[in-house]
Amino acid sequence: MLSALSNVLKITELRQKVLFTLAMFLVFRAGTHIPVPGVNPAVIEQLFTTGNLFGFLDLFSGGALSKFSVFAMSITPYINASIIMQLLTVVVPKFEQWAKEGEEGRKKITQVTRYGTVLLGFIQALGMAYGLKVAIINPGIASILLIALTLTAGTTFLMWLGEQITDKGIGNGISLIIFAGIVSRLPNGLFVIYQYLKAGTITIFNVALFAIIAVTMVVFVIAISQGQRKIPVQYAKRVVGNRMYGGHRTHIPLRVNQAGVIPIIFASSVLMFPVTIAQFINVDWVKTVAGWFAWGTPLQTTLYALLIIFFTYFYTAVTMNISDMAENMKKYGGFIPGLRPGKPTADYLDRIMTRITLAGAIFLAIIAILPNFVVWATNIQGVYFGGTALLIVVGVALDTMKQIEALVLMRHYQGFMK
């Protein structure tokens, strides 16, 4: 690790990329402390201390939502727009054609995603401004529009910031902004644990148990995130002119967690809906129904796990076209040993993918609901240690480290060979 860090610092270009990324992190963190004009922060803070409704979104914004700063929506509209575009690529022929056009097609999809981010961001900002109008000092149409435009501008700036990190820094900029927002909450969580320990609410045993569970979850997430089933593929030999092509062996890596963190986000959004509605409707039966879906209740936990399993299969099926994979393999003379090209290969891949997706879906469900049992076992409350955050942090960290290693190997590979 120290040798790899030394190699990074020796390469001027790589050192500049790291420093640029860190500078963009500072800009992001500074923006989380710039308040939206015309809002009473004390009322917003009270809303966050009375329930868990906004805690999930506040985690991704790095605390900007609880402060109701210009970055309160974080990069959430961009994530939503990207997911929608990914799903539309499968059903809209024009988008599907762009996806197959290589770099030019990706630029077109990125441009549409940007427009979608601004549109979704403005709609979400209007909803937030109207829903939190009790916190607006002078409530009115002009104030709501001003707040909505400010929040949309903040999200648009973060989108631009993420693209700058991708172009001039290291790693995926959007993912790193989410990563920075989540990690920035770590010192606050450690301070809360210290306060509990100081007040005598918890003991050293509770803290040690919490640390053991946390480390175990991290190891578990890394193992599953890196896990894959390698399907062997043999390419037939063919002669073109005086040269021979093919004849080599390779494999198709089918990941256990193909869907990533998307199923947890989908399931959380669905279960948040009734609670969100109940916040703004003062009707007894609506409040009662929303109570059934409160975070940590048996009904919510059960539905949460089932929805995660459902969305894991749904998202994997939408984003991974087994038939095209088998057809492309057949087109280039590839086959799985013991299977005929075409439909038998597609059926085999589909059967394998269904089995490993079940393991990935159960893994996501366990990771998502485990924090409920962590609170029960350790009695440490107020410290968000969710599976969603853990998956994102581990995934982004692994991906960024791989990119750094690739750059170091390309420019200074001798340091790794020694």
**Residue 376: which residues within 8 A CB-CB, separation 6 or more?**
none
Domain locations along the chain: 1-185, 203-379
Residue 252 β-bridge partners: 231
Alpha carbons 214 and 387: distance in angstroms, whole number: 10
Which CATH class name applies to 1-185?
A: mainly alpha
1-185 matches 203-379 in fold? yes
Q: Does residue 50 have a pLDDT over 50?
A: no
Q: Spell out the alpha helix ranges (H) of 92-203.
A: 93-99, 103-131, 141-168, 173-183, 186-199
pLDDT at 416: 44
Report d(CA 311, CA 326) in Å as an integer.
24
Residue 81, both tokens: 């727009």
> Which pLDDT tens digit goes with each residue over 307-324?
889 988 988 887 788 888
Instruction: Indicate the class that CATH gives domain 203-379.
Output: mainly alpha
User: Residues 336-391: pLDDT tens digits?
Assistant: 888 888 888 888 888 999 899 998 899 888 888 887 777 777 777 656 666 677 77
Q: How far is Cα 48 from Cα 59, in angstroms, rounded to an integer?
A: 12
